[in-house]
Each structure stands twice: as C-alpha cells, then as structure tokens.
Amino acid sequence: KKNLHLLSAEQVDLVKILLEMGQTHLFEHWPEPGVDDNEKKAFFDQVARLNSSYPGGLASYIQTARGLLADSKAGKNPFDGFIPSVPTGEVLTFGDDSFISFEERGVKEVRKAAFVLVAGGLGERLGYNGIKVALPAETTTGTCFLQSYIEYVLALQEASNKLAGESQAEIPFVIMTSDDTHTRTLELLESNSYFGMKPTQVKLLKQEKVACLDDNDARLAVDPHNKYRIQTKPHGHGDVHALLYSSGLLKNWLDAGLRWVLFFQDTNGLLFKAIPASLGVSATRDYHVNSLAVPRKAKEAIGGITRLTHADGRSMVINVEYNQLDPLLRATGFPDGDVNNETGFSPFPGNINQLILELGPYIDELSKTGGAIKEFVNPKYKDASKTSFKSSTRLECMMQDYPKTLPPSARVGFTVMDTWLAYAPVKNNPEDAAKVPKGNPYHSATSGEMAIYRANSLVLRKAGVQVADPVKQAFNGQEVEVWPRITWKPKWGLTFSDIKSKVSGKCSISQRSTMVIKGRNVYLQDLSLDGTLIVNAVEDAEVKVSGSVQNKGWALEPVDYKDTSVPEEIRIRGFRINKIEQEERN
Ligand code: UGB
C-alpha cells in the first residue's frame, strides 16, 4: 500500500486484481517507498504490458492456468470423450492434371491473399546463434530463408496480377517476431532493402511473452535475476491470431477485398513449391481452413491431422501432436495405436503447420474469441505427487489449434503433398540430427539444403530434363542424397506449367553439376551440363541456354561442425562449396 503513489489509476486497479488473484507474494519483499522506486515503476509497467497483451488480461490468464494445472495434476485426457477418425481432404500428385489446374487456380487467387510468417521462435533445438530466417536456405547462392520467402511472394504477386490483367495488387507480408528475434529481423530487412519488397508492404508484429507460474495455484514466478520483474517465457506461435486481430490488419484486408491468409514457419525452403496448388485447393473446395500435410510414417515426430467426434455432437478436424495420437487411438478401440496401413504410411496425414484460412470466416470467429487460442500447460513435476515443479511453467498455444473453437459447420480440410516437394524444415542441430533413427528425416541444415536440390532436380526431371541420379554422402554424421545443385529464382518458375514451358529439346545435367538461374525468361534447350552454369539474365531479357557446358564446376567439401574456424551457418551443414570453375551466361 505504501508504494501505491507510484501508480496510475489503471495500475492501481491491476494491483487490486493481482492481490485478489492470490499474488501477494510478488510484493512481499519490497522495501519502503523511496527505495528502488524506478525498479518498482518498471515492475508495474511490465504488469500492465502482460495484462494488455493477453486476451482477457492477467486475471483471465491466472484463471485459465489454474484450470489447466488442475487438469494436468488430475491426469485428465484433453481428448476425453472424443473418437478419432481419418478426415477427408485432397491428396495431390505433383505434375498431374489436377495438380496443374489447382496451381493455376492458386496463382489466380494469390493476389487476394496475405502471407504471415511466424518467426518469434529462437529455435533452441537448432542451437544456431542468429535468427533462423537469416540462415541460408542453400549455400550455392547463399539466399537466406527470408529473402527466398519475399522473392516468392513478389513473384506470385506479379504472376497473379498479370493473369488478372491488372498490376496494382500488393500482397501484404506480415512477420510475427518476439523480443528474441525482433531487432535482428528488422536489421536483416533494412540492411537488404527489404529484399526488393516495398517496406510499407511488410509489417512486423511482435509477440509478448507470458508470465511464468510457480505452482498449481498459478502463483506468478518472480524473475530469479530481478525481484522487481515477473519471469516470462514464450507463449507459442498461437499468439499470431490475437496479434493479427488486435492490430486491425484483418479488417483492413477484408475492406481491401482480400480473401485468404496464409501462415507459414521460419525454415522450410520447399514450402512455396506447395503454395499455388494448395491455395487452389482452398479456393476450389471452399475450405475455411486448409492445413498442408505430407504423408506421415506412423509414430513419426510430426502431428497427425485427425477428425475428433464427441458423443455430445462436437466434431473437429485438428492436429493431434504425435505423442498424443498413439495413446488416443489405443484408448478408443484401436488396440494397435498409430500404425501404417497398406500404403506404408499412417492413415493420419502429417501436419507441416502451414495453414490457409479464408479471411471472412476467420474474422467472424476472431470477433467472438478475440484471437484467443485453446492453451495447454506442460509442467515438469518434481515427483509423482505433482505438487511442485522442477522449474516454473507457463501456458502455451499453437497456431494450428485455431479450429478448436470453430462450429462443426466450418469447412476444415487439408491438402496432402509429396514430402520431397513441400517439407524440409531446419530444426535440429547436427548432433541430434545424427542420432535420428535411420529412415526418419533429419530436419537439419544439411538435409534442408539437400532437399532443395532434390526437389528442383525432380521437378526438372518431370519437365523432361535428364537429371542424373544422386550419390549418397555423409555430412555431420548424416547420410544424405546429393543431387545436382540446381537453383532458380522464383520468378523463373513458380508452377510446374511455368517450368515446363521453359525447358525443351534434349537437356541433361550430371550429378556433379551446379546450375543457378537468376533471370525470368531463361529457356533451356538441348543443354548438356557437366560442371557449373550461372545464368544471369538482366530483368526481362530473353536468354536461350543450349549446347554443351563442361568445366571443373563447384565441389562440396566436408567440414566438421565442431570446427569453429568455419562460420556457424556453414559448419552446421557439414560442407562448404569450393567454387573451382564455372561458366556464366547472360
Ligand atoms: N514460433 C513463434 O513465432 N513464436 C513462438 O513462441 C514459438 C514458435 P518450432 P514446434 O513443422 O514439424 C510445430 O519450434 O512448435 C515460430 C508444430 O507445432 O519450429 O515444435 C517459430 O519461429 C508441429 O505440429 O516448431 O512444432 C517457427 O517458425 C509440427 O507441425 C514456428 O513457430 C512442427 O512445427 C514453429 O516453431 C513441424
């Protein structure tokens, strides 16, 4: 009470709420007024921030936490009463007629879309010191993830505007950051002129962390390094919905005639190869929610997309995390749990956490929820009595849990794509990746880069180019397929039809080759490549590339991830590219 004069009227109300919610311990060891007043003020500012950035405020956070902690202590199954079944969705095969027509539809629609990248996570599993979007997706060109994403969005925008015969639509690009990534993301954009995008087209929304909890009564944790702060931790990527809603952007987009919002994660170098077709599926099937998925091996460490039906009539199509799917199946009449069927895969498609939401129904839903997403809590208990925690915990939420509050009438579907085309995230550090059981994906910087070369090689093969088979090689203890290092700028080839139209005659590329296509109107005709070829077409210049190209090329040289004389972004992939000789065409 003696410190109340430090506060504004609103802050006094907040303190009252804290006291009513059993949080007196926060002030217990505070000295007399006059001592540390600035720190005390900073404490109240923090409390105000924690309150305003959470839908319903701190009181609601504490209340929800108590409920979830009690459920967790009681060992309550979050899926109690729900029966899982395999939902229906669209399964695509790259390059066939329906894939091509979905792609065409997607490109047409994309000028009515906004893209949202969730990039607030530090990626503790990867252990990289920088922000993940600054990592090169591949080191042949050194293009980082953020640059690749922006160039894809710009290329989609241009192609879509061209189809519409209009040129004014600008696709909004939002990046959700956090205190861990915000400044560095902004610096990356600013020091690279936003990779060619107009700065006004890009919006950064910073998520706030949430208060940590010390016990089952949801007593807020005092920061161990500063008694005038509440300890905080990330709340998860689910924050993106509340942030988009409270920023007013959704309303602006609706007013501007937009129809879709696409969400994606920070390190999937393949993702945009899957975007046109899956947006086409959303538009054709009129999906309010479309989750991108890949075939999933039973028990593989990605969530499964599942229909859950409750005896009381509730029903939803939702991601069930992999550690929950097997026990859920066993408890509901499937004694073998999560197993592969005759296709060799689990019947539940694997969630890659790329969502396409239809804007109208999305806003309708958020107007009811304010963007709050069903949360969960995952305390690490000291012992079986579950009365105390090893360290403080907090509530978390995931963006793919958005459909949990939707009415059963909502059209929730999914689109399954080949893994080689759609999904190769960079999440694991070299040491952990090397320990991944044989046959399971490494999800490392090494496998992420190799997946880009493989996908480009397979796409060109399908377009008629004779691309040599890969060789197997181990980097950082991971055996990967090394395909020719083929890369192109998004504006060269956004869809399969696009790419096919740029390849003709008898083209071949040997395994040790590298090909970098930088221009838009580059046509490969009767090209035989054995070495490195860089095609630097200036803007719209038409360049025909043919004949035989042979040189010493660029070689992959192994490096050890423990060798700290090599830059971190290189050594985490276990090789560097020695650029011995190349031919350049303009
Ligand atoms: N992220 C944020 O923006 N803010 C946060 O507070 C946390 C993360 P991870 P995760 O692709 O295989 C997801 O850590 O959460 C961003 C799905 O939940 O890479 O373990 C972060 O920057 C899971 O169902 O993944 O697992 C990154 O861009 C499965 O699909 C993104 O959120 C899995 O991804 C994901 O964060 C997968």
Give me ligand 1 centre to Cα 143, in Å: 22
Give me ligand 1 centre to Cα 265, in Å: 7
Ligand 1 binding pocket, CB closer than 6 Å: 118-121, 176, 178, 234-237, 265-266, 302-303, 319, 351-353, 398, 400, 425, 427
d(CA 91, CA 95): 13
Give me ligand 1 centre to Cα 356, in Å: 16
Give me ligand 1 centre to Cα 237, in Å: 6
CB 14 within 8 A of CB 47: yes
CB atoms within 10 A of CB 44: 19
d(CA 292, CA 296): 12
Burial tier of 246 (Cβ tally within 10 Å: 0-12, 13-18, 19+):
middle
Ligand 1: residue whose CA is nearest its atom 17: 353
The residues that bridge with 261 in the sheet, in sequence order, are: 114, 357
d(CA 454, CA 539): 27
Rounded to two decimals, the pTM is 0.95
Mutate to test the pocket of ligand 1, among 262, 353, 404 (most ligand atoms within 8 A of CB): 353
Alpha helix (H) residue ranges in 463-559 = 496-500
Instruction: Enter the tokens of residue 579.
Output: 């650029």
CB atoms within 10 A of CB 526: 14
d(CA 532, CA 549): 8
Radius of gyration of the chain (CA): 26
Mutate to test the pocket of ligand 1, among 209, 265, 267, 297 (most ligand atoms within 8 A of CB): 265
H/E/C letters for each residue in 22-88?
A: CCHHHCCCCCCCCCCHHHHHHHHHHHHHHHHCCCCHHHHHHHHHHHHHHHHHCCCCCCCCEEEECCC
Give me ligand 1 centre to Cα 353, in Å: 8
The amino acid at 1: K
Sign of the CA dihedral with 390 first, then 395, 396, and 402 last: positive
The amino acid at 410: A
Question: Which among 514, 557, 518 has a CA at the least distance from the CA of 537?
Answer: 518
CA atoms within 13 A on the CB side of 68: 19
For residue 279, what are the contacts with CB-CB under 8 A and spacing of at least 6? 105, 106, 109, 110, 113, 260, 262, 356
The amino acid at 378: N
d(CA 43, CA 586): 60
Q: How many helices (H) and strands (E) does the chain have?
A: 16, 30
Alpha helix (H) residue ranges in 256-381 = 271-285, 322-331, 359-369
CB 267 within 8 A of CB 317: no
β-pairing, 583-585 vs 532-535, is parallel
Ligand 1: residue whose CA is nearest its atom 1: 121
What is the DSSP-derived secondary structure letter of residue 134?
G
Sign of the CA dihedral with 70 first, then 74, 79, and 80 last: negative
ipTM value: 0.98
Question: Which among 523, 572, 580 has a CA at the least distance from the CA of 547?
Answer: 523
Give me ligand 1 centre to Cα 521, in Å: 36
d(CA 308, CA 305): 10
Question: Which among 421, 399, 578, 484 has a CA at the least distance from the CA of 103?
Answer: 421
Instruction: Enter the tokens of residue 572.
Output: 């985490």
Task: Specify the ligand 1 atom closest to the Cα of 119.
Answer: 22
Q: Provide φ and ψ at 496, rounded to 5°.
A: -65, -40
Q: Tokens 């080949």 identify what position?
A: 418
Ligand 1: residue whose CA is nearest its atom 31: 265
β-pairing, 543-550 vs 522-530, is parallel
Task: Specify the ligand 1 atom closest to the Cα of 265.
Answer: 28
Beta strands in 300-399 (DSSP E): 304-310, 315-320, 350-358, 375-377, 388-393, 395-397
For residue 9, what pLDDT is reported?
83
CA atoms within 13 A on the CB side of 314: 14
Q: Tokens 């105000």 identify what position?
A: 48
Instruction: Enter the tokens of residue 490.
Output: 């998004």
d(CA 409, CA 404): 12
CB atoms within 10 A of CB 305: 27
Give me ligand 1 centre to Cα 391, in Å: 22
Question: Which among 143, 134, 151 has a CA at the least distance from the CA of 185?
Answer: 134
The amino acid at 215: D
The amino acid at 385: S
CA distances from 568 to 311, 388, 426, 571 (A): 53, 39, 14, 5
CB 351 within 8 A of CB 304: yes
The amino acid at 511: Q
In order along its 586 residues, the chain shows pLDDT tens digits of: 667 777 788 888 899 999 999 999 998 888 888 899 899 999 999 999 999 989 889 999 999 999 999 999 998 888 889 999 999 899 999 999 999 999 999 999 999 999 999 999 988 899 899 999 999 999 999 999 999 999 999 999 999 999 999 778 999 999 999 999 999 999 999 999 999 999 999 999 999 999 999 999 999 999 999 999 999 999 999 999 999 999 999 999 999 999 999 999 999 999 999 999 999 999 999 999 999 999 998 888 889 999 999 988 888 899 998 888 998 999 998 999 999 999 899 999 999 999 999 999 999 999 999 999 999 999 999 999 999 999 999 999 999 999 999 988 899 999 999 999 999 999 999 999 999 988 789 999 999 999 999 999 999 999 999 999 999 999 999 999 999 999 999 999 999 999 999 999 999 999 999 999 999 999 999 999 999 999 998 878 899 999 999 999 999 999 999 999 999 999 999 999 999 999 999 8
Task: Specify the ligand 1 atom closest to the Cα of 350.
Answer: 30
CA angle centred on 540, ends 536 and 542, rounded to 5°: 70
CB atoms within 10 A of CB 474: 12
For residue 1, what pLDDT is reported?
67
